[in-house]
């Protein structure tokens, strides 16, 4: 087509022939182009072909090149059609792009709304905490003040008593000194021993600040604070752990589900499950409950050599044995995959694989779903929580937790942790 295109160009206007005409010498030109060219080359009644320079004694015969015209018209029509297809494709792509922009703007609005809501909740919570901490501080400091006043009162009373004793002793000392100068020894013998016996011993008193009530008050305040924090953790948006159980009706015949419906193991023995429309033909199992809000659960994968964990639509194909039946290999599922022979972690959706970095082998995997925001996030749990990967998608169906368990592997869904109780 590229070489053919050169044969369709008029050498005068350098454009595709418009109403192609041919001279008797065999060269072709646009109708208007050849008329202008012949008029310009007319010298003493002689005319020249613009291309081969052959001269004619009289105005040359010009013939319409029907075949060339048909070729050009045909090409202009495979061109118009191609352009129309391209235009149609570009229009659809623009509409899809506009839709994605709308979706992203909607997500942006939802993110802003969620952020504003969380900021409001957090500000309210910390304001409440600040008020309660001040109240607890006041209570503990008040207890310290009361015990201080009590101890100081005791010390003051003892000091007062000792001051009175000191005054009495000073008085007796003065009396004794006066007796030293008395001339009557009988008086001295009668009063002297009484004074010595009465004041020979001195009282020793130690007063302490009683810290036991202070400690009890502090413990009671801290217990209340811990209880408040625990309640907040379990009621905060996006932090509610969900009780997720495995649905044996969906389990492949080579997956054994534990009696508590929290563990799934690949067993190389047919379990003889009854056939049903919900059961997978490949080694997968779904949760009993669906998700259409915010949910979070933890999967123990330390006993799984290979695994895929994610979420799927209920309408995902379950009967095929092709790759499309696995989590992340179709447009109805999203997952995080670990395969031993790859030695890598991958995020999967609609057959698109993206490698995910992990600092160490994953033992506990946290999965968070925010249905309204169209968000699925995976976390590596341990001493610290580490974000691994997030999908963003406008969900159109309710979601189910999904687990793919390969040979010699077992996964376990962690139980929801009980709330901490405040110490009494």
Architecture of the domain whose range is 248-413:
Sandwich (2.60)
312-320 average pLDDT score: 92
Lowest pLDDT segment from 224-228, 281-285, 401-405 = 224-228
Q: Please give the DSSP secondary-structure letter assigned to residue 119.
A: H
Distance CA 329, CA 352 (A): 7
Sign of the alpha-carbon dihedral angle for 5, 6, 11, 12: positive
Distance CA 29, CA 49 (A): 10
Query: What rounded mean pLDDT belongs to the chain?
Result: 83
314-343 average pLDDT score: 90
pLDDT tens for residues 52-86? 988 888 888 888 888 888 888 888 777 788 888 88
Lowest pLDDT segment from 1-5, 15-19, 54-58 = 1-5
Residue 15 has pLDDT above 80, yes or no: yes
Neighbours of 143 (CB within 10 A): 19
Residue 304 has pLDDT above 80, yes or no: yes
Q: Is 375 helix (H, G, I), strand (E, B) or coil?
A: strand
Tokens in use for 98? 């506009």
Query: For the chain, which residues make up each domain, given as ranges?
Result: 2-64, 139-235, 248-413
Q: How confident is the model at residue 128 (pLDDT cuts 50, 70, 90)?
A: confident
Distance CA 205, CA 399 (A): 75
In terms of pTM, does the model score above 0.75?
A: no
Q: How confident is the model at residue 201 (pLDDT cuts 50, 70, 90)?
A: very low
pLDDT tens for residues 79-90? 788 888 888 888
Q: Is 152 helix (H, G, I), strand (E, B) or coil?
A: helix
What are the b/e assignments for 30-50, b being 16+ CB within 10 Å? beebbeebbeeeeeeeebbbb
Residue 423 has pLDDT above 80, yes or no: no
pLDDT tens for residues 271-299? 999 999 999 999 999 999 998 888 899 99
Fold of 2-64: Herpes Virus-1 (3.30.40)
């Amino acid at each position: 087509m590229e070489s053919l295109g050169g044969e369709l160009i008029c050498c005068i206007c350098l454009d595709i022939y418009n109403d192609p005409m041919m001279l008797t010498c065999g060269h072709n030109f646009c109708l208007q182009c050849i008329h202008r060219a012949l008029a310009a080359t007319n010298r003493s009644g002689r005319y020249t072909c613009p291309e081969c320079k052959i001269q004619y004694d009289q105005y040359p015969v010009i013939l319409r090149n029907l075949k060339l015209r048909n070729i050009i018209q045909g090409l202009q029509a495979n061109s118009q059609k191609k352009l129309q297809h391209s235009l149609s494709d570009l229009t659809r792509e623009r509409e899809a792009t506009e839709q994605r922009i709308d979706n992203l703007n909607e997500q942006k609005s939802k993110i802003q709304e969620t952020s504003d809501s969380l900021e409001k909740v957090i500000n309210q919570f910390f304001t409440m905490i600040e008020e309660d901490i001040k109240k607890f501080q006041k209570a503990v400091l008040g207890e310290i003040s009361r015990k201080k006043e009590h101890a100081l009162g005791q010390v003051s009373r003892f000091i007062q008593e000792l001051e009175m004793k000191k005054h009495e002793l000073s008085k007796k000392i003065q009396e004794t000194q006066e007796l030293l100068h008395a001339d009557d020894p009988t008086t001295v013998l009668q009063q002297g021993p009484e004074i010595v016996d009465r004041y020979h011993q001195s009282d020793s008193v130690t007063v302490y600040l009683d810290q036991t009530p202070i400690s009890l008050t502090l413990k009671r305040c801290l217990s209340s604070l811990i209880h408040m924090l625990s309640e907040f953790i379990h009621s905060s948006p996006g932090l509610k752990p969900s009780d997720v159980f495995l649905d044996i009706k969906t389990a492949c015949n080579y997956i054994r589900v534990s009696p508590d419906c929290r563990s799934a193991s690949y067993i190389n023995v047919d379990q003889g499950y009854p056939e049903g429309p919900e059961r997978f033909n490949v080694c997968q199992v779904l949760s009993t409950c669906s998700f259409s809000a915010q949910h979070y659960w933890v999967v123990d994968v330390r006993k799984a050599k290979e695994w895929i964990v994610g979420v799927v639509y209920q309408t995902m194909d379950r009967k095929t044995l092709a790759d499309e039946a696995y989590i992340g290999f179709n447009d109805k599922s999203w997952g995080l995959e670990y395969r031993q022979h790859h030695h890598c972690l991958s995020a999967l959706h609609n057959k698109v694989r993206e490698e995910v970095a992990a600092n160490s082998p994953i033992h506990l995997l946290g999965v968070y779903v925010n249905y309204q925001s169209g968000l699925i996030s995976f976390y590596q749990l341990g001493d610290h929580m580490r974000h691994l990967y997030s999908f963003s998608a406008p969900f159109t169906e309710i979601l189910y937790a999904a687990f793919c368990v390969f040979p010699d592997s077992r996964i376990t869904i962690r139980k929801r942790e009980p709330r901490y109780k405040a110490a009494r």
